[in-house]
Amino acid sequence: MNWRSVTFDWNQVRAFLVTAEEGSLSAAARALGLTQPTLGRQVAALEERLGVVLFERLGRSLSLTRSGLELLEHAREMGEAANRVSLAASGRADAVEGEVSVTASDAFAAYLLPSMLGRLRLAAPGIAVEVVASNGLRDLRRREADIAIRHVQPDEPELILRKVADMHARLYAARSLIDRLGRPHEAVQLSSWPFVGFERSDRLMNALNAQGLALTPDNFRIVTENGVVAWEYVRQGLGVGAMVEEIAALTPDVECILPGFPPFPVPVWLVTHRELRKSRRIRVVFDLLAEMLAGEGGEGAGPEPSSSSAASVP
């Protein structure tokens, strides 16, 4: 390889890549923690070094030129390689201290993680935890988090995972709503009740109708993609909602309606990148969370983590 032919700065390539991915200099600057003028200078320096124009600037918007499009895939490959270097380096860290980021759904992070984080602080006081509360799946391969608590089994071969619990979700309503509408004794009685939707789709409605209800979109007059907000609306009597038993047990203002109604299974997977699993601090947090989550879901510690390609389907 002719090393002298590689004359550009990786930071400049990174600035170009993030700007292309984020769509604007301002968004890219926020993502990298830089100022917009600094980022703009890095992109301009790369254009000057390569002798090409990478972006067309139309007011505040940016559009990739043909040269920019041709270089984008190469820049993405470089970004993935840089991530792999970072992962490998992090995987060799032996100290039980430093920062570990954990991602979980907003409701899980708000209601179930606090007690676990308190116990984790006592067991590993040198570890600082960043909680990424998100209902979207963060990409562990790109270091958007170190450890993920998920309710769907991932299938990326770079990840390793452990099924740590089998939780169950049931239907709940506030006592105030039950007092107002009367306690139901059969599923069909809920067909006229208001429900709080967690997403703009018919998945919950269809699942409930398959169990004997007769709901329509008119039952879901309130919809939010935020699980904490949805649960608060249920608590305040705005409608019936589905929630895992462990969170509902922490909310004294709600009751399970139709306790004989079949619960919905909610598997809990603990996931990390296989390189990070070699890091002592990542392993400590992973194992402690696995133990505590198994206690919540009643499964026990479970088997050693396996690659996602070999894990069994729940």
Cβ-contact 20, 64 below 8 angstroms? yes
Of 15-24, 81-90, 104-113, 253-262, give the lowest mean pLDDT range: 81-90
Q: State the Cα–Cα distance between residues 116 and 165, nearest whole angstrom.
A: 15
Within 8 A by CB and 6+ apart from 49, the residues are 7, 8, 9, 12
Share of the chain above pLDDT 90, in %: 36
Q: State the Cα–Cα distance between residues 237 and 80, nearest whole angstrom.
A: 48
The encoded tokens of residue 158 equal: 């770079």
Burial label, 277 (beta-carbon count in 10 A; 0-12, 13-18, 19+): middle
The encoded tokens of residue 73 equal: 């895939």
Beta bridge partners of residue 272, listed in sequence order: 147, 160
The alpha carbon of residue 38 and the mean position of all alpha carbons in its chain are separated, in whole angstroms, by: 30
Residue pointed to by tokens 């705005």:
238
Cβ-contact 103, 148 below 8 angstroms? yes
Reduced to 3 states, what is the DSSP secondary structure of residue 301?
coil
Reduced to 3 states, what is the DSSP secondary structure of residue 106?
helix
Beta bridge partners of residue 222, listed in sequence order: 196
**Residue-wise pLDDT tens digits, 214-254:** 999 999 999 999 999 999 999 999 999 999 999 999 998 99
Strands 98-104 and 55-58: unpaired
Q: State the Cα–Cα distance between residues 307 and 288, nearest whole angstrom.
A: 19
Residue 283's pLDDT band, with cuts at 50, 70 and 90, is confident
Question: Which of 57, 64, 128, 48 shows the shortest CA–CA distance to 95?
Answer: 128
- Average pLDDT on 81-103 reads 70
Residue 312's pLDDT band, with cuts at 50, 70 and 90, is very low
**Residue-wise pLDDT tens digits, 166-186:** 999 999 999 999 999 999 988
**Terminus-to-terminus CA distance in the chain, angstroms?**
48
Cβ-contact 198, 242 below 8 angstroms? yes
